[in-house]
Chains A and B, each alone.
Chain A
């Protein structure tokens, strides 16, 4: 095997080490990673073992809340024309059910599973950005709860979880209900993206040494693909919510056909996110299935490489199917045919996974403990949902089934079979690892059968009600059409499902009681690293991994790991540390010092959530204050990053030494920044698409751009800014006095340049007389410029930040990461601005 980083892979043979471990090493490790001791420490904790549990718990809370909403709806629909819920309440409730299930339960739940499990599975001590993870969690919890509470004030959104304009525009939804959705959800997406960054960098950069990609657990693959899909898909919903909020608040007509907008633009943007979203939810759950089924059948996953390929294929194809939600909108025949074909194709990788699971079960002996039951039950339900999925991929059939209860049945089969049952399997399977105490098997079987029967009883009849002509999203229906009986049966099934969840909640409360023994250990004989003996520090030492199923294949591994005979067995200098490895072959690169808990990320989360929520209720002054405080907290949190190290290297076991600090593409921070920029670039790309789309609808509205001379000025400014930004990392590395000051100067210049260019370009457009609220051209041009301008403004804050660090002596030649990352951001900002300006000036080619 050739080395990726120059690391001598033969050194792996030195492990497990044989010499005795030094006195006090374990105590120092435990001391460094000690758990919270006071309530404040529980709140400010950043350790993934704690945040992960909070995260899963919060997601399940939203699952229960949205489930209660479902029961309310089923009560209303049990009989025709009941008056249990008034019309507007029902409309709010069905909107919230979908929204909460998708945004506050499904995505966070799988993300939470990743946060909780990945470090353990990969042999890392924690995720690479624990405070970012904690920030994401708190922002999500606070934002989510406040969003949910809007229901109690009758202010909950009522435009459906898909929020189609013009129904959600100011004209038809004048209340702040829709704003709650737009600001609340847009903001929770930001939290999801933060989590995704954490997961991508965690999987690629903090694996146990020697865990090459072919030994990467299938769940980690799933999470990697999941997080990458979030990075590509979520910018679309962020942009969509931004545009709709701009239209609502400022009257910029993106979707208003009277001024050149088009409601279809929303549908494209929403489903470009919305369909991958389904697979975003499904893939991690499928990864969990591919982990649990082999463990329960005690045999390796049959066709592991095929399964990984299938997941990758799902990820790719899922971005090409969005318009199958729009077959009835009068799309051209050619597009319909393409999306029909792609929608069918996307079911193939799912089939590969299902048959891999069946083959695995056949190869081993399945144990029918609760995780096994949930896995098999979920598979059956998912297959049925997949089959109705193939049906609605057939366009003529979809024209009938679309927006009817047939679709309600289909999507619940897919999501409950593909995500909820696997999630319950995962909870039953992994809870003993997390709480060191299993859930009741006897109850578990009851819960499974109630849930399985309840699901089928609730959703099977809906196929029929759909074919009988019952549309979705109706708060009631007229008697005498034969819909009464199937609806009544559905309601009974829904309550059975609810009963199962209630039993589960009771058992969970029992499980987390603060007394009684906690000694479950590896009760399923699981093969993954997460089943190694562990504490808050994760594993005592980070093992050399020689197989996909290390605990099955490496016989003495658990004992050796616990005895500290592998990598990083202690906490040098009492620091929290984990090992950063290379992305392909996981060769050790450096020791990452993990930040300790602090209040700043927490305050940052509170004020960020506060900013968006207060903005919704239109208390602008308070919102601005909260926003400024949020920025302050976040900058304060960053301030202590990139701090000096006492030593240059650390011994990570068997005499191997690696550096404590690395900059550039090997560093975890560089990866995170690149991912952030991809998110920004995606938003910009989609905004560019929106611009072209709107032009194609109404080219007659397009006016001539400002004279070319101003463009030359702004592009010139940006070019200079870009060069300055790119030169800064070189400057800071110069081995002579003034290097740091030179780099600082370059970055400040660059940030000034991007801001100046934004102003020049904005003024040039303004003087042409084009206004954003007048036409779709105005709206989309100013939206693009504002996006670029926002990046420029953030770049300005970064220039200020780097200047302050220079003044306070927190920059150094040997620690260039801060300069590197800000340089990356500014160079990207300059390039993005150039792209935006060229697009709005040169396309569609008028007036040059």
Chain B
């Protein structure tokens, strides 16, 4: 099988993407048919026998081909499009699970909300959802405009400073769905990935309980290095004194799929590489490279962070 095929947009994994894929195929077929018609008409006009040419030579062709036909086709498409729009873009309903995703340069702050809209769990760069039911994302921005796009789950919605947008998301099956920032946000915009992880409902409940818990007290030497290096100024690890807010919450960073906002696999090796040289891997991002750590310290911090499952 070819890598990248089928294209995610044509490989929907939920009810907010499926109808759009149908729309896409209808549009592709429409495009192919109309293009064929135009090319046939053009071919006749250019090379056809005189008798055929005469049939397309009049103003009648302009009225029919240029006016009547498009009006009919477009009206049909419009009605179809509006009905799908209304279906897919249904406004959020009370009682639906809510997750607040805030775009930051160049990562995503994620907060799970309770029924009253209070934050219960903080996380970053990953949105965990239960499969088979809709989840509402509240989209905000902390700096410039970003846009959330998870092609297999649906279209994109912008995150605009000073505004709050909503996006409904549903994955029918458990799995991992890749996404990326779609609105140019400067610097390493190209490396601002997002991962949606859909769990079975039972797994999701378990995940949520685990996620809500603070980090276990750790006797690993890396915990001390983490504190001594001042990492806590930007990062929070709940249950420790690290309570910085500028960067991603690291309470359960070891359990994440990726590092650096969707760009690296997550293990001790990549963690060490990221800490030591985040500027080399993702130039321009807001985390400085920690080249002051010696090999052992670096390894210890990486081991400690990976232990935060």
A contact residues vs B (CB 8 Å cutoff): 86-88, 91, 158-160, 164, 166-167, 171-173, 257-258, 261-264, 302-303, 306, 310, 328-330, 333, 336-337, 340-341, 344-345, 347-348, 351-356, 358-359, 361-363, 366, 376, 379-380, 383-384, 387-388, 390-391, 393-404, 464, 466-469, 471-478, 480-483, 697
B86: chain A residues at CB < 8 Å are: 333
A6 CA to B58 CA, complexed, in Å? 39
Given A394-B77, A469-B8: A263 in contact with B160 (beta carbons within 8 A): yes
Interface digits, B56-68 against A, CB 8 Å rule (1 contact, 0 not)?
1111011101110
- Give the top 7 A-B pairs by smallest Cβ distance, nearest first: A482-B4, A399-B155, A257-B162, A474-B190, A355-B66, A362-B45, A352-B66
B contact residues vs A (CB 8 Å cutoff): 2-5, 7-10, 17, 19-20, 23-24, 27-28, 30-31, 34-35, 38-39, 41-42, 44-46, 48, 53-54, 56-59, 61-63, 65-67, 69-71, 74, 77-78, 80-82, 84-86, 88-89, 105, 143-145, 147, 149, 151, 154-158, 160-163, 165-166, 178, 180-191, 193, 263, 283-284
A167: chain B residues at CB < 8 Å are: 144-145, 184-186
List 24 interface pairs A-B (beta carbons < 8 Å), by A numbering: A160-B184, A172-B143, A172-B186, A257-B161, A262-B163, A302-B58, A306-B63, A330-B157, A340-B81, A344-B74, A345-B74, A351-B69, A376-B46, A380-B42, A387-B35, A388-B31, A391-B31, A394-B80, A396-B155, A400-B17, A473-B190, A478-B191, A478-B193, A478-B263
Given A358-B56, A396-B19: A384 in contact with B67 (beta carbons within 8 A): no
Query: CB distance A303 to B182 under 8 Å?
Result: no
Query: CB distance A87 to B156 under 8 Å?
Result: no
Query: CB distance B24 to A400 under 8 Å?
Result: yes
Given A469-B178, A471-B149: A330 in contact with B57 (beta carbons within 8 A): no
A49 CA to B181 CA, complexed, in Å? 50
B70: chain A residues at CB < 8 Å are: 347-348, 351
Query: CB distance A344 to B24 under 8 Å?
Result: no
Query: CB distance B160 to A264 under 8 Å?
Result: yes
Name the residue of chain A whose CB is nearest to the CB of B188: A87
Smallest CB–CB gap between B12 and chain A, Å?
10
B188: chain A residues at CB < 8 Å are: 87, 475
Partner among B24, B38, B42, B182 whose Cβ is within 8 Å of the Cβ of A397: B24
Query: CB distance A356 to B62 under 8 Å?
Result: yes
Given A257-B161, A329-B165, A482-B4: A358 in contact with B38 (beta carbons within 8 A): yes
Query: CB distance A359 to B263 under 8 Å?
Result: no
Query: CB distance B62 to A306 under 8 Å?
Result: yes
A388 CA to B156 CA, complexed, in Å? 18
A814 CA to B57 CA, complexed, in Å? 56
Smallest CB–CB gap between A411 and chain B, Å?
15
Partner among A395, A472, A480 whose Cβ is within 8 Å of the Cβ of B85: A395
Given A352-B66, A354-B38: A362 in contact with B57 (beta carbons within 8 A): yes
Smallest CB–CB gap between A375 and chain B, Å?
11
Query: CB distance A400 to B145 under 8 Å?
Result: no
Smallest CB–CB gap between A357 and chain B, Å?
9
Query: CB distance A355 to B62 under 8 Å?
Result: yes
Query: CB distance B7 to A400 under 8 Å?
Result: no
Partner among A398, A477, A482 whose Cβ is within 8 Å of the Cβ of B155: A398
Query: CB distance B145 to A306 under 8 Å?
Result: no
A359: chain B residues at CB < 8 Å are: 45, 56-59, 61-62
Smallest CB–CB gap between A171 and chain B, Å?
8
A307 CA to B263 CA, complexed, in Å? 52
Smallest CB–CB gap between A743 and chain B, Å?
52
B88: chain A residues at CB < 8 Å are: 396, 399
Query: CB distance B81 to A395 under 8 Å?
Result: yes
A306 CA to B61 CA, complexed, in Å? 12
Name the residue of chain A whose CB is nearest to the CB of B17: A400
Smallest CB–CB gap between B196 and chain A, Å?
13
A355 CA to B58 CA, complexed, in Å? 10
A472 CA to B185 CA, complexed, in Å? 11
Query: CB distance A330 to B189 under 8 Å?
Result: no
B44: chain A residues at CB < 8 Å are: 362
A347: chain B residues at CB < 8 Å are: 70, 74
Most interface-central of B10, B34, B63, B81 (chain A CB within 10 A): B81
Given A87-B283, A467-B10, A471-B182: A396 in contact with B2 (beta carbons within 8 A): no
Given A264-B160, A384-B35: A362 in contact with B56 (beta carbons within 8 A): yes
A352: chain B residues at CB < 8 Å are: 62, 66-67
A482 CA to B27 CA, complexed, in Å? 23
Query: CB distance B162 to A262 under 8 Å?
Result: yes
Q: A-side binding surface: helix, strand, loop or mixed?
A: helix
B181: chain A residues at CB < 8 Å are: 471
Given A87-B188, A403-B156, A474-B189: A366 in contact with B46 (beta carbons within 8 A): yes
Query: CB distance A264 to B46 under 8 Å?
Result: no
Given A340-B81, A351-B67: A469 in contact with B7 (beta carbons within 8 A): yes
Query: CB distance B20 to A400 under 8 Å?
Result: yes
A475 CA to B7 CA, complexed, in Å? 21
A394 CA to B186 CA, complexed, in Å? 28
Name the residue of chain B whose CB is nearest to the CB of A262: B162
B155: chain A residues at CB < 8 Å are: 328, 396, 398-400, 402
B80: chain A residues at CB < 8 Å are: 394
A172 CA to B186 CA, complexed, in Å? 9
Smallest CB–CB gap between B80 and chain A, Å?
8
Name the residue of chain B whose CB is nearest to the CB of A353: B66
Query: CB distance A358 to B65 under 8 Å?
Result: yes
A263 CA to B223 CA, complexed, in Å? 42
Query: CB distance A390 to B189 under 8 Å?
Result: no
B2: chain A residues at CB < 8 Å are: 482
Smallest CB–CB gap between A601 and chain B, Å?
39
Query: CB distance A402 to B4 under 8 Å?
Result: no
Partner among B38, B81, B163 whose Cβ is within 8 Å of the Cβ of A264: B163
Smallest CB–CB gap between A292 and chain B, Å?
15
A476: chain B residues at CB < 8 Å are: 190-191
A261: chain B residues at CB < 8 Å are: 162
B85: chain A residues at CB < 8 Å are: 333, 336-337, 340, 395-396
B30: chain A residues at CB < 8 Å are: 387, 390
B71: chain A residues at CB < 8 Å are: 348
A472 CA to B156 CA, complexed, in Å? 13
Query: CB distance B45 to A361 under 8 Å?
Result: yes
Known contacts A302-B62, A400-B154; 10 further A-B pairs (Cβ under 8 A): A88-B187, A328-B182, A363-B53, A395-B81, A400-B155, A464-B7, A468-B8, A469-B149, A482-B2, A697-B162
B186: chain A residues at CB < 8 Å are: 91, 158-159, 167, 172-173
Given A341-B78, A469-B9: A403 in contact with B45 (beta carbons within 8 A): no
Smallest CB–CB gap between B67 and chain A, Å?
6
Smallest CB–CB gap between A625 and chain B, Å?
35
B66: chain A residues at CB < 8 Å are: 306, 310, 348, 351-356
Smallest CB–CB gap between A145 and chain B, Å?
26
A403: chain B residues at CB < 8 Å are: 147, 149, 156, 182-184
B31: chain A residues at CB < 8 Å are: 384, 387-388, 390-391
Query: CB distance B145 to A263 under 8 Å?
Result: yes
B27: chain A residues at CB < 8 Å are: 390-391, 394, 397
Smallest CB–CB gap between A556 and chain B, Å?
29
A404 CA to B70 CA, complexed, in Å? 26
Name the residue of chain B whose CB is nearest to the CB of A394: B81
A167 CA to B9 CA, complexed, in Å? 28
Smallest CB–CB gap between A75 and chain B, Å?
16
Smallest CB–CB gap between A391 and chain B, Å?
4
A160 CA to B183 CA, complexed, in Å? 10
Most interface-central of B4, B56, B82, B160 (chain A CB within 10 A): B4
Given A303-B62, A361-B45, A376-B42: A473 in contact with B24 (beta carbons within 8 A): no
A481: chain B residues at CB < 8 Å are: 3-4, 178
Partner among B63, B151, B158 whose Cβ is within 8 Å of the Cβ of A329: B158
Query: CB distance A164 to B145 under 8 Å?
Result: yes
Query: CB distance B3 to A480 under 8 Å?
Result: yes
A310 CA to B71 CA, complexed, in Å? 14
